[in-house]
Amino acid sequence: MVFKDYTFFSYVFSAVAVILLTGHAHGAGLCDNSPYKIVCESIVVFRTDPKNASIAACHKLIFETKNVRVAAQTPPVSAEFEVCIAAFDGAIANTKIALQGLQAGDYATLRTYLLAAKTNYLGCDDAFHNSGQTNPIAKSTKLLMDMASVGVDLAALIK
């Protein structure tokens, strides 16, 4: 009988430990105040250090921008898509500079160039808006802007 009580205690202890560690493993509160919490959590998964999370955010932003760029190159390519492709190239370049700034410990460069990447994505949306057309990749550019915003938010947490 006593053995069963200790077994029950070990199960309860294990369950509590798993719950606490799982919460810690999913970003240790890095995304708690983010207005883009779902996007943030998808980037931050299993990271507890804001710098490592920012590096992951930059890499993921570059990867996803390349994917959306490929979609924009699918024929027929319009003048608006040409603007988007150039904007995506600029966003990739800006994000790479942001990543270099991060690795050098220059967090102002990180924030500045991620904000510049966000402006690049807006340029794609503006091209369609100015021509009176609906942007067929608007959801993708919105996601990229949100990801860039998460990078900026994470940069503010680095100490």
- Closest among 73, 60, 63 to 124, alpha carbons compared: 73
Whether pLDDT at 122 is above 60: yes
pLDDT of amino acid 76: 87
Contact call for residues 81 and 70 (beta carbons, < 8 A): no
Whether pLDDT at 21 is above 50: no
Provide the 10 A C-beta neighbour count for residue 56: 17
Stretch 128-141: mean pLDDT:
95
Provide the 10 A C-beta neighbour count for residue 78: 15
When the pLDDT of each residue in the chain is averaged and rounded to a whole number, the result is: 86
Comparing 23-27, 56-60, 64-68, the range with the smallest average pLDDT is 23-27
Stretch 49-71: mean pLDDT:
96
Separation CA 40–CA 38 (nearest Å): 5
Helices (H) and strands (E) in the chain, counts: 6, 0
pTM as predicted: 0.81
The contacts of residue 68 (CB under 8 Å, 6+ apart) are 88, 137, 140, 141, 144
pLDDT of amino acid 28: 58
pLDDT bucket at 81, cuts 50 / 70 / 90: very high
**In the block, which residue shows the tokens 């995304």?**
31
pLDDT bucket at 56, cuts 50 / 70 / 90: very high
Separation CA 37–CA 155 (nearest Å): 15
Sign of torsion over alpha carbons 37, 64, 44, 17: positive
Whether pLDDT at 7 is above 60: no
Contact call for residues 151 and 54 (beta carbons, < 8 A): yes
Stretch 49-74: mean pLDDT:
95
3-state SS, residue 4? helix
Stretch 49-75: mean pLDDT:
95
